[in-house]
Amino acid sequence: MLHPELDMDEMDFEVLSKSVPDGAVGDIKKVHQHNTELLLHKLGQRLAFERASVRLYEALIFKCLAMRNGRKTVVSVDLLRQFRDEEVEHSRLLKTAIETLGFDSDEWIPDADSNLQSSLQIPKVFTKKTTSVLQCLESVLIFAT
């Protein structure tokens, strides 16, 4: 169901109906509604991905700091923080886009995490003591592709 502000008003509907062959006028509202819902689903999926990426970078930063113990790390923690901050910014952008459409970005959006279901095992790599930072970096690469 679309937010009331996203429904076409009668004037828009009449203008569009004049440019469409007879018999197809009723389909315009269906297409408009479908496209908005599809956009919302895609934005929701991407928002879920970006939020998961933030959590992965947080876990990787924590792992690097825990394993460092005065030694040089394989990857720059500052660089990881920069990547994490970029993911946070992407999340904010998507949240704003969803809210601009008139929806609550924190409310469950259908399909929001369907693409993440197959990736749920990856965060476990970060919490195991036996995994190295390189293995965690490989997991981030797998998650991002």
Length of the chain: 145
The confidence score (pLDDT) of residue 48 equals 84
CB atoms within 10 A of CB 98: 21
pLDDT higher at 123 or 105:
105
Q: If you average pLDDT over residues 32-60, what whole number do you get?
A: 84
Give 49: exposed, middle or buried? Use CB within 10 Å, 0-12, 13-18, 19+. buried
Check pLDDT > 80 for residue 51.
Answer: yes
Compute the distance between CA of residue 108 and CA of residue 12 in angstroms, rounded to an integer: 30
pLDDT digit string, tens, across residues 5-30: 445 455 455 554 555 555 554 555 56
Check pLDDT > 70 for residue 4.
Answer: no
Does residue 119 contact residue 139 with C-beta atoms inside 8 Å? Answer: no
- Domains of the chain, residue spans: 4-144
Q: Is 72 left (phi over 0), alpha (psi -120 to 50) or beta?
A: beta
pTM of the model: 0.65
CB atoms within 10 A of CB 99: 12
Beta strands in 7-56 (DSSP E): none
The confidence score (pLDDT) of residue 27 equals 57
